[in-house]
Chain A
């Protein structure tokens, strides 16, 4: 499949339709191995759909999805399960199990997928929690943690099995500046320490500039730009510029499609 072994994830001419709406159309996307890649785009552009495609939760209507030499969209059952053990995913709200402590949340994938002894699992879990700075919160339940702490525990859980690929879905949404700084450092540290391929799905342009080695923008069902964050910031493309500079109007219009205001007001008046 891939032309180069430096590519960890590859989407080839992928089309996805959901509920009669085309989300992605003929999308080509390469995610380089061992780097932090940001997948950006306006809300509803299909960023999370990329995550669902790569983890095999969603099959494309057309096209191919590859992780290394494995074609994901043809996998099912146990083969898909084996693939997913090599992918860690931090979901937007952490998705911790509320009836389990932080420790048990992180231990869950180890208990399910390995035959390690409890003493070894305990060591691994404490090491993972130490990495995210929450070893001291091991016995706390999710209800006792702040939003940022929940995501850090969820990050520890996502990397419990030392995956080769880490996905972070909107990791900065709703975080205070300190938690945001912690998250940025954590993603960088995990990438460096474990040598993983990290994919950050976000629309936070400023954070991406600090974090990502590589970035791409999905809009209008397609990949519209790719490069380093600096290259994207300097782009002359109107859509890329609107997105990177946060302009309220441009190729992505401020107004949701509607009849002309005069026409609408007139229609309302007549109907009365």
Chain B
């Protein structure tokens, strides 16, 4: 067998990454901020962010519930039930909030962005923009990239908030923990910059990567129904892997 096949298997992802990188550089090199661009960015923040709210709120609440349930059960055995809020807050702010919200964002908003751009390609809407001397990068790509940067950190905040509400509901209302010590422990154990700020920094990075991959897979999708379907699947897979790898790298540097 020739060495062509394994070589291609190795180089194909690298080539794809290179193309996606060049695409990103092109998008940033043509960045413009006029009133029309800002209006379009806000519109995309609405589509990517506001429409992801329901899934973020529901999942956040239940993640808070189950996390408190598991830690409460374990910590009670060691007589450390008071530490439930500490575990809840630290795990949420540092890891679970940004990572889970990013994965949900990829599933809800990322796939939607990919499908939208892929269908614009398939129905010649991107060609039409080009033919009208309107830069598709400026009109389609940039607002969605920036919307991801803005929307995901906001969604992470909401995810964390609802998860804490879920935790309070379980620990205080169902298990009868003292609400004052619950809050006091959380407040004393969380460092604003290191824990909360670190998590928010991660969410900005994840938002950027999720939006980049969603836009890229839509942009490079084959202009057929199979091509668009494949591109949306690739968005979810690639974003999940990228977020988890990036999370490890960022965590290693932050600790």
Contacts and interface: CB of A to CB of B under 8 A. Distances in A.
Interface residues of A, number: 23
A57 B129 CA distance: 12
Contact of B131 (A87, A93, A96, A112): A87
A108 B123 CA distance: 18
Contacts of B132: 84-85, 108-109, 112, 157
A81 interface: yes
Interface string B97-129: 000000000000000000000000001110110
Interface residues of B, number: 11
B133 interface: yes
B130 A93 contact: no
Contacts of A154: 128
B124 A109 contact: no
Interface in A94-129: 95-98, 108-109, 111-113
Interface in A68-103: 80-82, 84-85, 87, 89, 91-93, 95-98
B125 A108 contact: no
B66 interface: no
B123 A95 contact: yes
Contact of B127 (A91, A109, A112): A91
A89, A154, A157 — which one has the most chain B CB atoms within 10 A of its CB?
A89
Contacts of A37: none
Contact of A81 (B123, B127, B128, B133): B133
Contact of A93 (B36, B123, B133, B134): B123
Nearest to A83: B133
A109 B134 contact: yes
Contacts of A35: none
Interface of A: 55, 57, 80-82, 84-85, 87, 89, 91-93, 95-98, 108-109, 111-113, 154, 157
Given A91-B131, A112-B134, 9 more contacts: A84-B133, A85-B132, A89-B131, A95-B123, A95-B127, A95-B128, A96-B125, A108-B132, A157-B132
Q: Give the 7 A-B CB pairs with smallest separation, nearest first.
A: A95-B128, A81-B133, A95-B124, A84-B133, A89-B131, A91-B124, A109-B132
Interface of B: 36, 123-125, 127-128, 130-134
